[in-house]
Amino acid sequence: SEDLFNTGELSENFQTRGVRVVVRCRPLLAHERDHEQQCMTLDKESKSVTLQSKNIDERMRHFFFDEVLDEGCSQQEAFARVQMGPMVESVLAGYHATVFCYGQTGSGKTHTMEGFTYRASRGAASPKAQLDTDPEQLGLIARSISLLFESIKRKKKAEPHVTVNVKCSMVQIYKEQVYDLLNPTLMDPSSTPFSTTSFGRPLARPPQQVLKVRWNRRREFYLENVFEFQCATADEAIDHFRFGVNNKTMASHKMNMASSRSHSLFTVIVETAPASAPEDAIVSKLCLVDLAGYERSAQSGSTSGQLQQESIFINKSLFTLRKVITSLADPHYRGMHVPYRDSKLTCLLKHSLGGNSLTLMIACLAPSDAYWEDNLSTLEYASKTKQISNQVAVNEDPKNRLIRLLRERVLFLEHQLAEL
Ligand code: ADP
Ligand code: MG
C-alpha cells in the first residue's frame, strides 16, 4: 500500500488473467455412424488435439489447451473440468465472468450450455411441452445457477450482515437486432405486460421488442430497458432461463430462422452489499453465451459472392468477434484499434475479451472427418483466443473504492503514529 497515491488510476488491484480455453468434442450422432473419424486425436493427459493432414503434403497440426474433453465426458464432468465452480465463486466475490461456446453448427454448443432435450411438439401445442429436462443432461447454465445459490447460502451464513441480490436477463442477437427473450410480450403482443420491472419500479416505457445497445458513463455497454428479473432461488432463475429458451425456439419459427444462426446471452447479475449500506453494492455479472454456429463454407461453396455476403451479414457479430479475437491475439496490438463497436455481440462482450472479466471459451468440435475444415478453423480461433489476456478486478464503485483505500491509509498512518 506504499504507493497508494502514485498509481493515479487506482489500478493496483488489477490482475492479469489469460482467457482460458477448453475444447469439447461431442460423440458421433446416430446418423453419422458410418462417418470416418481418423483425422483428429484428443489427448486428455497432455490436453492436446492433433489434426492429421488430409493430403500428404500438408503437415500435422498440434493444438494445446487448458483442458480437453472427449466424447465420453458427461455434462456433470464437463461442468467440473471447465472449472465452473471457481468462476461462480469469483462472481460472488465481485468479479465479472464470461463463458462462451464457439464452434460450427451441430458441434454441441447448445448441448453444453442448455442441455435441454427438445421433444417434437404436436401441432401448435403449448411451447412448454417442447422442453424436456433430464437432470443428468442439464448444461452449464442451470448447473451454474444452482451452484451460485448454494454459495450464496453459505456466504450468508458466514457473513450475516451481507445482502446478496440476484437478477437475470436473457437476450438473443439475430441479424444485428437484439431481442429480449424474457420480455413477456415478445411472442404474444396481446398478453398483458408486467406492470413493473424487477426493481419494483414502473416500466419507463412499454416493453420493447428490439433493444438498443447504449454506452454509459462508466464506459460500459448496456442494453436499454432489458428485462431483469429478481430471483430469490435457483428454481426461479432456472424458470426464467427456461422461459427464455422457449421464447427463443418460438422466435426462430416466427422469424423463419434456424436458432443456430442467432447468439443467445444469459446474464446473471449479482449485487453484494453490507446490509447497513446497500448503496455500496459490488455488482458483478456472469455472462453465459451460446454463439451462433458458423455455416460450413468449404462444402456449400458459400465462400464466393452473394452467399458469403449473406452469411457475413447474418453473422456480422460472429465475423466481428473473429476480428476482435485476431486483433487482441496479435502481440503488436497494444494500443491499436479493436473493432468492438462493429457488432452488437462484440459490444456486449467487450469486457470479456481484453477487458475486466474472467473468461472461458469452450471450443466445440464434431468428431467426424467430414468436418475437418470446420474443426481446423475452430481450433485455430481457439488457439488465438488463448493468447488474449484480461485485466480483472473486483467491481467496486470507484467512489467507494477510493473511500476504502483512504480508510486503509488512515489506519496505516495511525498505526505508524502509535509506534513512534
Ligand atoms: P450446436 O448448438 O453447436 O449447433 P447442438 O448442441 O445442438 O449443436 O448439438 C447437435 C446435436 O448433437 C444435438 O442433437 C445434441 O443433442 C447432440 N450432442 C451435442 N453434444 C453432445 C454430447 N456431448 N453428447 C451427446 N449428444 C450431444
Ligand atoms: Mg445451437
141-157 pLDDT, tens digit each? 999 999 999 999 999 99
Ligand 1 centre to CA of 106 (Å) is 6
At residue 283 the predicted structure's pLDDT band, cuts being 50, 70 and 90, is very high
pLDDT for the residue numbered 304: 55
pLDDT for the residue numbered 307: 59
Please give the residue that has the higher pLDDT: either 406 or 306.
406
Q: Which residues contact 5 (CB under 8 A, 6 or more apart)?
A: none
Q: Which atom of ligand 1 is nearest to the CA of 114?
A: 6
Q: What is the pLDDT of residues 76-108, one digit of tens each?
A: 999 999 999 999 999 999 999 999 999 999 999
Mean pLDDT calculated for residue range 264-289: 92
Q: Name the residues around ion ligand 2, CB cutoff 5 A.
A: 109-110, 260
pLDDT for the residue numbered 401: 75
Residues 96 and 356: beta-carbon distance below 8 Å: yes
pLDDT for the residue numbered 382: 97
Helices (H) and strands (E) in the chain, counts: 11, 19
At residue 341 the predicted structure's pLDDT band, cuts being 50, 70 and 90, is very high
pLDDT of 198 higher than 80:
no
Ligand 2 centre to CA of 403 (Å) is 46
At residue 189 the predicted structure's pLDDT band, cuts being 50, 70 and 90, is very low
Mean pLDDT calculated for residue range 399-414: 84
pLDDT for the residue numbered 328: 94
112 is in an annotated binding site: no
The Cα–Cα gap between 190 and 79 comes to: 40
> Which of 378, 374, 371, 263 lies closest to 325, judged by CA?
378
107 is in an annotated binding site: yes
Mean pLDDT calculated for residue range 394-415: 83
Ligand 2 centre to CA of 63 (Å) is 24
List the Cα angle 294/299/304 in 5-degree steps.
80
Of 45-59, 180-194, 261-275, least confident by mean pLDDT is: 180-194
> Which of 380, 383, 388 lies closest to 349, judged by CA?
388
Considering only CA atoms, give the Rg of the chain.
Answer: 23
Ligand 2 centre to CA of 103 (Å) is 9
pLDDT for the residue numbered 155: 95
Mean pLDDT across the chain: 84
pLDDT for the residue numbered 229: 94
At residue 53 the predicted structure's pLDDT band, cuts being 50, 70 and 90, is confident
Q: What is the pLDDT of residues 349-377, one digit of tens each?
A: 999 999 999 999 999 999 999 999 999 99
The Cα–Cα gap between 100 and 66 comes to: 15
pLDDT for the residue numbered 191: 46
pLDDT for the residue numbered 384: 95
pLDDT for the residue numbered 161: 93
108 is in an annotated binding site: yes
Task: Report pTM.
Answer: 0.86
State the ligand closest to the CA atom of 76: 1
pLDDT of 15 higher than 80:
yes
- How many residues can be counted in the chain? 420
Please give the residue that has the higher pLDDT: either 137 or 56.
137
Ligand 2 centre to CA of 259 (Å) is 7
Of 4-13, 117-126, 266-275, 310-319, least confident by mean pLDDT is: 4-13
pLDDT for the residue numbered 277: 84
As given in the structure block, the three cell numbers for residue 387 are: 493468447
pLDDT for the residue numbered 395: 86
pLDDT of 10 higher than 80:
no
pLDDT of 50 higher than 80:
yes
Q: Which atom of ligand 1 is nearest to the CA of 107?
A: 3
As given in the structure block, the three cell numbers for residue 201 are: 419500479
pLDDT of 124 higher than 60:
no
Residues 345 and 324: beta-carbon distance below 8 Å: no
Mutate which of 25, 26, 112 for ligand 1 pocket (most atoms within 8 A of beta carbon): 26
At residue 3 the predicted structure's pLDDT band, cuts being 50, 70 and 90, is very low
Pairing of strands 131-132, 48-51: unpaired
Q: Is the CB of 258 under 6 A from ligand 1?
A: no
